[in-house]
Structure formats: structure tokens, C-alpha cells
Structure 1
Amino acid sequence: MATNKHAIIRYEALDRCFSNKGKKFFIDDLIAYVSDALKDYTGTDSSISRRQLFKDIDFMRSEAGFRAPIGSIKEGKKTYYRYEDMSYTLAMQQINPVEAELLKTTLEMLGRFKGLPQFDYVQELALKLKKSFQLEDLEHSIYFDQNEYLRNLHLLGEILKLINQRQVLNITYRSFNQAEDEYVVIHPYFLKQYNKRWFLYGQCQGFDSWTSLALDRIQDITIEEDATFIPCNESPEDYFEDIIGVSKPIDAKCEFVKIKVNKSLWPYIDSKPLHPSQTVIDRAEAYTVIQLEIIPNYEFYAQILGFGAAIEVISPLLVREKTVRRVKDSLKNYY
């Protein structure tokens, strides 16, 4: 699509002519109107030739241009030009079909966030794009591993709005291992999704470290009117740099964890590292030894145990012993 400033002015001027229901624009009228528009922009006398005008009309009609429904209506020996669909405007067609296809793919992705009212418009916008550019539906072309039945998904939009408003929240919360509700005053910073679940991160009143609250365990949310919001003093990237998943044990230190990976599993681990710090420190025909620089947490152990016999924690000894203990505890269920 042309990006020349004069071309854009010409297209927009022609658009105003073609969408004018009260006047018929013949060729000489179009030339005069476009020339005046160019003069207003440049401040000097400018004109457009008849040849250039027809080239602009052909471009606006074309697939590479705007697919504009410009009709040629005979009146005696003369012809005037007008949109055949008077609801059409160039303002709605500022992207070409290729760009529209890419945008629609993105809209389909955003449309998966069904719990976020901020994205409710994407389905309507996708329909408009389909109508304007004759795009095929992408509904069955891409799928996401999202739990649409997760409790409290409808709270995502509300919480996101409260985060942006820097509101201090009073949350009624009940974790899986609690019989009673607890009441948490939290300064919310961001939402994070992990393993099909959503978590709210922020700083609880009276604590220096961040707290994570599972969205599906929230019972109620109200605004703490008299509290002053405490700004975030750490970036999420730094916070999650040395962990897998979402939980960060208090006062835990980062360790070098060595893991032996069976050759049958290695292509998977190689293409999808367990952590950004993953490095290879030894190779053999039957296995590969990798090293992670992490804080071992619940998600780390869950992921390691999920690979079964194809993976073995070598060191540190304490991390190895904790892994062995979890394996033995699992075996008790089968004997």
C-alpha cells in the first residue's frame, strides 16, 4: 500500500467524494476537489491529472489497495462516481488484505481471554474484518490449552482494572489446605497464568516480600478505601528469574541443580528447556547432564517427578533427597 503523503491525501479526498450522498462527482469535479485538498495541505497551487486520478481510482478498487466498491454511474454522456455500498468508508479500510489476515489471527488469539471484558470487542471486530476483506474463519485453526471452567475467571477483568487504578484490595481467601477463610490486604501488581491457573501477585500489608493468590481460591474482593497504595519495587522479570512456575519460597537461595536426562527424553528437554538458565555440562550416549540455576520450589519438583524414570536429580544432595522422598511417598499409595 502506498504511503506517500500526497497519495494518502488524494485517497482521503476521493473517499469524501465517493461517500457524499448529496452530490454527484464527475471527473472534472473529482479533479477540482482533489486539487483543492492538495493545495490546502501544501499551501501551493497543486493539481492532479486525469491520468493520475484514474490510476488512484483503480488502486482504491484493487486487491492491493482498499477493495473500495467504487461504482461508475452513467448520466447522459457523462459519468459520475460513488460508492455502491454507501456504508463503506476508507477510514475502515486502512489495512490491506494481507495485513487484515495477520490482524485477524491476532484477534482470534486475544479472543481466547474470555474472562477479560476488555477483550469482548475482538469478536465483533473480527466479524467486521471478515466482512470487509472476505476472510475465512480461523475459529478451528488455533486452539489454546486454557481451562475455561476455572473458577473465578470472570474476575480477571475486574482485578485487572483495579490493578491499573492502583487500588488496595481486601481479599477474602481460602487456600486448599484451609478450612476457614482468611482476610488479606494486598497491594496488587500483576496477574500471571501458569499451568491453566491464574495468580494475583502483590505485596500484603505488613510484609516486604510479594504474595501470590490463586484466582480460583478468592472468595470476595473489596477496595480498602483508607489504605495508600505501595508501588511495586521489583520487576516481574527479576522476581521470576530464578524459579520455575509461580511459587517462591521465603528466604530460599538460588542453587546449581544438576539433572541427568535419559536420551529418550533429551530431545524434548533440549527443545523446551526446563528453565532459561539450562546449560549442558556433560554428554554421553545414554544420557545428557544439564545444570539449572534456580530456587527449587513446588513446581520444580512437580515437573521433575512428572518425567518419571527418564530424569534423575544428581545434586545438590538436599534437593536429591527431597526428590527421593517425594517418589517414596508416591509409591506408598501403591503398596
Structure 2
Amino acid sequence: MATNKHAIIRYEALDRCFSNKGRKFFIDDLITYVSAAIEEYSGSKASISRRQIFKDMDFMRSEAGFRAPIESYKEGKKTYYRYSDRSYSLAMQQINPVEADLLKTTLDMLGRFKGLPQFDFVQELALKLKKSFQLEDLGDCIFFDQNEYLKNLHLLGDLLKIIQDKRVLYVRYQSFNQNREKSFLFHPYFLKQYNKRWFLFGQREDFENWSSLALDRIIDFSVEYDEVYKPANIHPDDYFEDLIGVSKPTELTAQLVRIKINKSLWPYIDSKPLHPSQKILEKKEDYTIIQLDVIPNYEFYAQILSFGQAIEVIAPESVRLAIKEKLIAMLDRYS
């Protein structure tokens, strides 16, 4: 496969065009889109010819390339191009033997850091890559908890590049609890995954505090090159210090929450703390009492309720009462 950087950018740009289910890309559209992609990457004007686009499509279709199912469709006197297999994308294809060897070498090198605290992620990452790219015949020996049906996963690469370039976005978005979409300027800071869902964090132009946008609820976005980017005024580690999950209610502050845990559940909570602030206040034969320094947000309540009768919030009274109200409302559903 060609290693020319502009060639790779062209293939990835064309891939986004051909896999776009909501728009038809004619040859002039492809030229414009690919030229813009190269200009965004290199910072200089790019001029792509029709001949180059057709050569790129031939390569992408070929056995030496990606065996991409690119088809042409007539619409009047014009022709547009897209994948005949609507689920196809370059990101889903197996890498070639040369790339596989390079990846194996990289994983072997990363393996030397195994055991160091700051490289705890390496072993899991290596297993994921080996299974995803079939670097070893792992068969059905290991599975990862991923949401393969989550919408907009293909946006991760573009958004990461936009964050690195410190660009402002114009976003069309519809949240889970709203019937209408909203449009706004957004200064993106970082991406975070929680509970098999991806979130984009940043500053909305019309909000004082940070916002989190669920990736699968983003309808569309574009880069606003004339807007001045506002850098983050707080580090993500500080932002999430008192949170479980991703939501941060602006009207709440962190509280010391005491929780009584049944002895049957304690080994699980002990090995996988609910929050980094977790500490033991009292340990008896039948139960353990812990304390968390957290904001009681949606994810906090969802996690506490998920443990059922094996867990009990004993303080503060406001949090205990909130859980009681939720349980009564749930019971009413079944009565």
C-alpha cells in the first residue's frame, strides 16, 4: 500500500464520502472534499485532479489496495459514487502482512513496560489489537465489552484531530431528553468513554460550564475556522475528581457519602472501588461501611441502585432520601 502521506489522507477522505449514507458525492464533490482534507492536514492549498481521484478509486478497489466495494450510480447525466455495501469502511478492514508485522513489533516493544503502574493499559490494549487484527489465533478465548452498534463511532478520528488542532465546531445536536435539535458553537477539549458510550467534552459558546455531548446524539458538525478557540481552564483530572461517570450537575457540590455494604458484595467493591476517594470507615463480620467524596449525580444513583439490597446509603440524609424516592417510584411502576 502506498505510504505517501497525502495518499493516505486521500483514501481516508474518500472513505468518508463513500460511506456517507445521507449525501451523494459526485466527482466534483469528491475533488472538493479531498482537497479540503489535505489542506486541513498540511495547512496549504491542495489541487487534486479528476484523474487522481479516479486513480485512487481504482487502487481502493484493487486487491493490492482495500478491495473496497466502490460503485458508480447514474443520476440524470451525472454520476455519484458510494460503497455498495453500506456497512463497509476502511477502518473495519484487516491490515496487510507488512502492517501486521510492524504492529506485532510495536506490541512486543510495549510489552517490555508491563508491570509498571503507568503502563497498566498495555496488556489489555495488546489483547484488543491482537484480536481485532487477528495477529494471533485467539479464537473465541477472549471477548471485550464493546458497543459495536453505537452510532457515530467513525467520528472519533476526525474529532481527535480537531481537538489536537484546537478548532471550534458548529454542532447540530439532539440530546436524549429533547424533542428538537439544537445548534451551537463548541470548543472541544477531550473525548471520554463511559459505559460503552463516547462523550465529547468542551465549552459551549452560550454556557458558562463545560458540556458533554454524547457522540451518538451528534447529528452533524463543521469546523468554524474564523472562530477563536477558547482553551480549557481546568485539567480533565480535576474536572472528574469528584465524579462517577460523566455528568456534572452545576447545582450540586461534592459530599461525603457513607455507604453500608453487605459482606456478600464487599469483595467485589473492595477489588473494584466505586470511586478513587473510597475509604473504609468501619469493618464488621457482616458488613463494611465506606465513605466516598463525590457529587451525587445520575451515574452515582444508577450505580448504587444496581447493587440492590446488598448496599445501603446511610448518610447524608438528602442522598438517602433521594434513593428512597427513586425506589418508591420504581415500586409504583409494578403495583
TM band (smaller chain):
0.5 to 0.7
Match of 2:323 in 1: 323
Shift of 1:107: 4.7
Shift of 1:333: 1.2
After TM superposition, the structure 1 stretch with the greater mean CA deviation from structure 2, 211-220 or 94-103, is 94-103
C-alpha spacing 1:282/1:108, structure 2 compared with 1 (3 Å): closer
Match of 2:166 in 1: 166
Shift of 1:143: 2.3
Q: Higher Cα Rg: structure 1 or 2? A: 1
Match of 1:192 in 2: 192
Match of 1:296 in 2: 296
C-alpha spacing 1:193/1:111, structure 2 compared with 1 (3 Å): farther
Unaligned runs of 5+ in 2: 1-97, 113-121
Q: Write the deviation string for residues 29-69 of structure 1: whole angstroms up to 9, x where unpaired.
A: xxxxxxxxxxxxxxxxxxxxxxxxxxxxxxxxxxxxxxxxx
Give 1:202-241 correspondences, 5 Å limit.
202-241=202-241
Q: Write the deviation string for residues 231-288 of structure 1: whole angstroms up to 9, x where unpaired.
A: 1121111110101000011042111000010111011011100000101101222111
Moved over 3 A (4+): 91-108, 138-142
Select the residue among 113, 128, 137 that pairs with 1:109.
128
User: With structure 1 as the length reference, what TM-score do the two structures score?
Assistant: 0.62
Distance in 1, Cα, partners of 2:124 & 2:181:
42
Count residues in correspondence.
Answer: 228
Distance in 1, Cα, partners of 2:106 & 2:215:
40
Match of 2:175 in 1: 175
Match of 1:312 in 2: 312
The answer to whether the 8 Å contact 1:296/1:319 transfers is yes
Shift of 1:95: 5.7
C-alpha spacing 1:267/1:172, structure 2 compared with 1 (3 Å): same
The answer to whether the 8 Å contact 1:171/1:218 transfers is yes
Match of 1:279 in 2: 279
Q: Secondary structure at the match of 1:159?
A: helix
User: RMSD of aligned C-alpha atoms?
Assistant: 3.0
Q: Write the deviation string for residues 202-244 of structure 1: whole angstroms up to 9, x where unpaired.
A: 0111333110000011111111232100011211111101010
Give 1:122-141 correspondences, 5 Å limit.
123=133, 136-138=136-138, 140-141=140-141
Give 1:76-155 correspondences, 5 Å limit.
106-110=125-129, 123=133, 136-138=136-138, 140-155=140-155
The answer to whether the 8 Å contact 1:171/1:186 transfers is yes
The answer to whether the 8 Å contact 1:261/1:311 transfers is yes
Shift of 1:104: 9.9
Shift of 1:174: 0.6
- % of aligned pairs identical? 53
After TM superposition, the structure 1 stretch with the greater mean CA deviation from structure 2, 317-326 or 92-101, is 92-101
